[in-house]
Amino acid sequence: MAEGIAVSVHDTAPVWRGDAAGDALRRSVDLAQAVEALGYRRYWVAEHHNTPALATSSPAVLAGSILAATSTIRVGSGAVLLPNHSPYVVAEQFGVLAGLHPGRVDLGIGRAAGGSGEAAARLGDPRRLDFGDALRELHEYFAGGSGGVRAIPEPGTPPEIWLVGSSASSAANAGRLGLPYVYAHAIVGGGAPEALEAYRRAFRPSAALAEPHACVAVIAVANDSDERAHRLAASFVYGQILMRTTDPATVLPTEEETAAHVFTPAEERFLREKIDPQFVGSPERIAPRIEDLLHRTRADELFVLTQVPDHQARIRSYELIAKIVSSL
């Protein structure tokens, strides 16, 4: 990898037409083994609920399977959505992971719901803590306890706590807390330079982190062919269109199904809005854009989310991205 810049994986365990959720989860484990061999630093899994197209409803459980199947790569959540959980339960779950796999567990935290309002109503701490209070309590469990209650097990090497967000305000909050921060360019393209600058300006050293660690998470689909890369990337976006307009409970369409679809002008605009700010194409086409983003953000680490229906093409994409970053 390029000196000073690490590259890591963000995964949503996408479920494609003809597959079961279990197939998607097993592919995540297989992908983690592949990217570990390629030198990726971390493998993070997202949290989504009531979304059949994405199998990542329980980051801690999936992370445990990935940790058991790998040996060196750090594994964690990107992110556990704290409003959905009791901080105590999160501390216990990730305490178990860190006890079994010391020095390899990350706990990325976000504040979105990650699903429908109906699903969110069935999750969460009945106390409905403010996000800042919940985060503070979570920290306390990894430092001896909170309110006289201890989260067991108490690992000798606690998980690294990160914040994940998509705004300058969330970045500044991470800086004030002295935590590493990931800006989700994959969700909100274009705001990463300003957000990471706000993070660095606000940063205060903490027991967890002496200097700022600023990261950016992108969607990337690399292929030897520009045309194939765009065809692969279009399947996930077409799935988003189907979920918004036809069936919220659908799984994701295949590459062939997507290629056969005639996009309306409105759908074509949506496709472009989702793909153009991201990094889709051959290495020759996307390498200069990745280099430009890393230069403008001064990011210490690049997280890559690749959601395509062909598993071998997905692995190949991560291989090409690793080569791009190592050449910068």
- pLDDT at residue 1 above 50? no
Residue range 214-242, pLDDT digits in tens: 999 999 999 999 999 999 999 999 999 99
Query: Which pLDDT belongs to residue 3?
Result: 56
Q: Which pair of structure tokens corresponds to residue 286? A: 């996307």
Tell me the DSSP string of 154-204: --SSPPEEEEEESSHHHHHHHHHHT--EEEETTTSTT-HHHHHHHHHHH--
Please tell me the least confidently modeled range out of 2-6, 49-53, 154-158, 283-287.
2-6
Mean pLDDT, to the nearest integer, of 96-122?
A: 90
Instruction: For the chain, state the CA radius of gyration.
Output: 19
Query: Which pLDDT belongs to residue 2?
Result: 46
Residue range 294-328, pLDDT digits in tens: 999 999 999 999 999 999 999 999 999 999 999 98
- Provide the 10 A C-beta neighbour count for residue 135: 20
Using a 10 angstrom Cβ sphere, with 0-12 exposed, 13-18 middle and 19 or more buried, the burial of residue 90 is buried
Query: Which pLDDT belongs to residue 285?
Result: 97
Q: Which pair of structure tokens corresponds to residue 62? A: 């999936």
Q: Do 10 and 186 form a contact (C-beta atoms < 8 A)?
A: yes
Query: What does each C-alpha distance from 133 to 82, 102, 138, 241 come to in angstroms?
Result: 11, 27, 9, 37
Question: Which one, of 77, 89, 86, lies nearest residue 42 by Cα?
Answer: 77
Could you say which DSSP state residue 146 is in? Answer: B
Residue range 21-56, pLDDT digits in tens: 999 999 999 999 999 999 999 999 999 999 999 999
Query: Which pLDDT belongs to residue 111?
Result: 93
Mean pLDDT, to the nearest integer, of 209-215?
A: 98
Q: Which pair of structure tokens corresponds to residue 296? A: 């403008």
**H or E element, residue 281:** strand 279-281
Query: Which pLDDT belongs to residue 163?
Result: 98
Query: Which pLDDT belongs to residue 286?
Result: 98
pLDDT confidence bin for 115, thresholds 50/70/90? confident
- pLDDT at residue 114 above 90? no
Say which amino acid occupies 96: V
Q: Which pair of structure tokens corresponds to residue 179? A: 């935590």
